[in-house]
Amino acid sequence: MGALEPRVDPLVYMRDGFAVTLWTYYEPATPHVSAVDYAEALERLHAGMQEVDVPSPRFTDRIAQAEEVVANPDLSPELADADRVFLSSRLESLRRAIENRGAVEQLLHGEPHPGNVLSTKSGPLFIDLETCCRGPVEFDLAHVPETVCGHYPSLDQGLLDECRQLVLAMVAAWRWDRGDQFPNGRQFGEELLRLLREGPPWPTLDAVTRQLDGR
């Protein structure tokens, strides 16, 4: 994980209505982080987070945020009624299915996707921890490339599949939020709805992004 800036007190600073935290700057290394290094770094992060005892939301709170967007036409005015019913039902059924598994939960990064990983001379470091929550490690793994999951030990493939589907559904909800500023957000939202209806295998977010970008 990236380190805090050592020259200032480790505090949250308020400036012009914004909450600001200061972190160490790392010179960029090679642009590519190998799947093995990525998986090992995430495993170390999870091991360290097991020792952290701080109040934190559960992953189900993230689901509730997505459900609120879907349920409120004022927040998602462009979402068709049929899509609204479909997405609301899918979010609820996935929350229930994952909770019913009774998997061990711990503190997680929340969104350890490639955009939140720095490639440094010291190896990959995770940043942007505002999405920290408690849940099964498979919830974190649902945000990373498929090749990374292949190097993470002792994961539950069935739970991972459900968490991947859940991530697709949550991100789909956020893309229909009227305040969403994600590039090509509507196109992304439409594609995610199509994938959810199409059924398994469930793609990773990076695979969906590459497909839409034509890479």
Q: How far apart are CA 118 and CA 164, in angstroms?
A: 23
Alpha-carbon separation of residue 24 from 3, 18, 42, 158 (angstroms): 6, 19, 19, 38
Q: How far apart are CA 172 and CA 193, in angstroms?
A: 7
3-state secondary structure of 13: strand
- Supply the pLDDT for residue 139: 98
Which of 158, 171, 155, 172 is CA-nearest to residue 201? 158
- Supply the pLDDT for residue 31: 73
3-state secondary structure of 124: strand
- Supply the pLDDT for residue 32: 83
**Residue 43 token pair:** 């495993």
- Supply the pLDDT for residue 184: 87
Measured on CA atoms in the order 45, 46, 51, 57, is the torsion positive or negative?
positive
Q: Which amino acid is at 128?
A: D
Asked if 84 contacts 63 with a C-beta cutoff of 8 angstroms, the reply is: no
Q: Which residue has the tokens 């914004």?
A: 18
Q: How far apart are CA 78 and CA 87, in angstroms?
A: 14
pLDDT tens, position by position, 52-96: 988 999 999 999 999 999 999 999 999 999 999 999 999 999 999
Low-confidence ranges of the chain (pLDDT < 70): 215
- In the chain the domains, ranked by start, together with CATH numbers, are 13-213 (3.90.1200.10)
- Supply the pLDDT for residue 80: 97
Q: Which helix (H) or strand (E) holds 57?
A: none
3-state secondary structure of 37: helix
Q: What is the pTM of this model?
A: 0.91
Asked if 60 contacts 163 with a C-beta cutoff of 8 angstroms, the reply is: no
- Supply the pLDDT for residue 63: 98
Strand segments, DSSP code E, in the chain are 13-15, 18-20, 106-108, 117-120, 123-126, 133-135
